[in-house]
Chains A and B, each alone.
Chain A
Amino acid sequence: MTESDWIQAARRGDVESFNRLVLLYQDIAYNVAYRLMGDPDAAADATQDAFITAFRKLHQLEGDRFRPWLLRIVTNACYDELRRRRRRPAASLDDLHERAEVEPVLALSNPPENPEQHAQRRELNLAIQDCLSALPENQRTVAVLADVQEYPYQEIAAITGLALGTVKSRLSRARAHLRDCLQAVQELLPAEYRLIDEQTSDY
Chain B
Amino acid sequence: MSPSPDTPSERDLELLSAYLDGELDERARTQLEQRLAQDRALRAELQRLRETVALVRSLPPVKAPRDFTLDPARYGRPVPWWSRLFDLGTVLQLSGALGTMAALAIIALAFLLSDQGAEPVSDQAPAAASPVALQASPLPSATAQPPTATLPPTPFPTPVIETFEEAESAAEAPAPEGDLAGGMAQSSPGPAEPLVAPEAVMNGEEGAAAVPPALSLGTPAALESQAFAADAAQATAGDTTAQREAPDEEQEAAPAQAAPAISGTASLAPTQTQVAAVAPGAVELEQPAAADDGITADESDQIGEAEGTTPAGQAAADDDRDEGRVSGAGKDDDRDVGWLAGIGAGLLVASLALLLLGRRKARVR
Question: Is A93 in the interface zone, CB < 8 Å from B?
Answer: no
B284-323 residues at the A interface, CB under 8 angstroms: none
Given contacts A22-B70, A47-B68, contact A55 B61 (CB under 8 A): no
Q: Is A143 touching B70 in the complex (CB atoms < 8 A)?
A: no
Question: Is A6 in the interface zone, CB < 8 Å from B?
Answer: no
Question: Is A65 in the interface zone, CB < 8 Å from B?
Answer: no
Write the nearest CB–CB distance from B174 to chain A, whole angstroms: 63
Write the nearest CB–CB distance from B41 to chain A, whole angstroms: 14
Question: Is B14 in the interface zone, CB < 8 Å from A?
Answer: yes
Q: In the docked arrangement, what's the CA distance between A87 and B23, Å?
A: 39
Question: Is A180 in the interface zone, CB < 8 Å from B?
Answer: yes
Q: Looking at chain A, what size class is its interface with the partner chain?
A: 35 or more
Considering only CB atoms, which chain A residue lies closest to B16 in the complex?
A: A172
Question: Is B155 in the interface zone, CB < 8 Å from A?
Answer: no
Considering only CB atoms, which chain B residue lies closest to A178 in the complex?
A: B52
**Contact residues in B for A153 (Cβ distance below 8 Å):** 18, 21, 23
Q: Total contacts A to B, CB within 8 angstroms?
A: 149
Grouping DSSP codes into helix (H, G, I), strand (E, B) and loop, the B interface class, with mixed when no group exceeds half, is helix
Write the nearest CB–CB distance from A35 to chain B, whole angstroms: 7
Question: Is A82 in the interface zone, CB < 8 Å from B?
Answer: no
Q: Is B68 touching A26 in the complex (CB atoms < 8 A)?
A: yes
Q: In the docked arrangement, what's the CA distance between A35 and B62, Å?
A: 9
Question: Is A73 in the interface zone, CB < 8 Å from B?
Answer: no
Q: Is A180 touching B1 in the complex (CB atoms < 8 A)?
A: yes
Q: Is A56 touching B79 in the complex (CB atoms < 8 A)?
A: yes
B67-92 residues at the A interface, CB under 8 angstroms: 67-72, 75-76, 79-84, 86-87
Q: Is A13 touching B3 in the complex (CB atoms < 8 A)?
A: no
Write the nearest CB–CB distance from B75 to chain A, whole angstroms: 5
Grouping DSSP codes into helix (H, G, I), strand (E, B) and loop, the A interface class, with mixed when no group exceeds half, is helix
Given contacts A13-B82, A27-B64, contact A171 B17 (CB under 8 A): yes
Q: In the docked arrangement, what's the CA distance between A94 and B2, Å?
A: 32
Considering only CB atoms, which chain A residue lies closest to B7 in the complex?
A: A176
Q: Is B70 touching A203 in the complex (CB atoms < 8 A)?
A: no
Q: In the docked arrangement, what's the CA distance between A128 and B56, Å?
A: 7
Question: Is A44 in the interface zone, CB < 8 Å from B?
Answer: yes
Question: Is B6 in the interface zone, CB < 8 Å from A?
Answer: no
Question: Is A67 in the interface zone, CB < 8 Å from B?
Answer: no
Q: Is A22 touching B69 in the complex (CB atoms < 8 A)?
A: yes
| Residue in B14, B59, B62, B83 whose CB lies within 8 Å of A13 | B83
Question: Is A98 in the interface zone, CB < 8 Å from B?
Answer: no
Given contacts A13-B82, A179-B48, contact A48 B68 (CB under 8 A): yes
Q: In the docked arrangement, what's the CA distance between A55 and B59, Å?
A: 30
Question: Is A138 in the interface zone, CB < 8 Å from B?
Answer: no
Q: Is A47 touching B64 in the complex (CB atoms < 8 A)?
A: yes
Q: In the docked arrangement, what's the CA distance between A169 and B10, Å?
A: 9
**Contact residues in A for B71 (Cβ distance below 8 Å):** 15
| Residue in B18, B56, B63 whose CB lies within 8 Å of A147 | B56
**Contact residues in A for B21 (Cβ distance below 8 Å):** 146, 152-153, 171
Given contacts A22-B67, A59-B86, A148-B57, contact A34 B62 (CB under 8 A): yes
Write the nearest CB–CB distance from B47 to chain A, whole angstroms: 11
Question: Is B55 in the interface zone, CB < 8 Å from A?
Answer: yes
Q: Is A12 touching B84 in the complex (CB atoms < 8 A)?
A: yes
Question: Is A129 in the interface zone, CB < 8 Å from B?
Answer: yes
Question: Is A1 in the interface zone, CB < 8 Å from B?
Answer: no
Q: In the docked arrangement, what's the CA distance between A143 and B59, Å?
A: 13
Q: Is B1 touching A176 in the complex (CB atoms < 8 A)?
A: yes
Q: Is A148 touching B60 in the complex (CB atoms < 8 A)?
A: no
**Contact residues in B for A108 (Cβ distance below 8 Å):** 60-61
Question: Is B13 in the interface zone, CB < 8 Å from A?
Answer: yes
Q: In the docked arrangement, what's the CA distance between A171 and B64, Å?
A: 26
Write the nearest CB–CB distance from B65 to chain A, whole angstroms: 6
Given contacts A13-B84, A52-B75, A59-B86, contact A106 B60 (CB under 8 A): yes
Q: Is B62 touching A104 in the complex (CB atoms < 8 A)?
A: yes
**Contact residues in B for A152 (Cβ distance below 8 Å):** 21, 23
Question: Is B329 in the interface zone, CB < 8 Å from A?
Answer: no
Given contacts A11-B83, A59-B86, A172-B10, contact A52 B70 (CB under 8 A): yes
Question: Is A150 in the interface zone, CB < 8 Å from B?
Answer: yes
Pairs across A and B, CB under 8 Å, 20 listed: A12-B84, A13-B76, A15-B76, A31-B61, A34-B62, A44-B64, A44-B66, A47-B64, A55-B70, A55-B79, A104-B62, A105-B65, A106-B61, A107-B61, A147-B53, A173-B10, A175-B17, A176-B13, A180-B1, A202-B1
Closest 8 CB pairs of A and B: A13-B80, A13-B79, A104-B62, A172-B17, A19-B69, A172-B14, A30-B64, A15-B72
Which residues of A line the B interface, CB within 8 A? 11-16, 18-19, 22-23, 26-27, 29-31, 34-35, 40, 44, 47-48, 51-52, 55-56, 59, 104-108, 124-125, 128-129, 132, 143, 146-148, 150, 152-153, 168-169, 171-173, 175-180, 182-183, 202-203
Which residues of B line the A interface, CB within 8 A? 1, 3, 10, 13-14, 16-18, 21, 23, 48-49, 52-53, 55-72, 75-76, 79-84, 86-87
Contacts A26-B68, A55-B70, A148-B59 aside, 14 further interface pairs with beta carbons under 8 A come to A12-B83, A13-B76, A15-B79, A34-B62, A35-B59, A40-B65, A52-B75, A55-B75, A59-B83, A104-B62, A178-B52, A180-B3, A182-B55, A183-B3
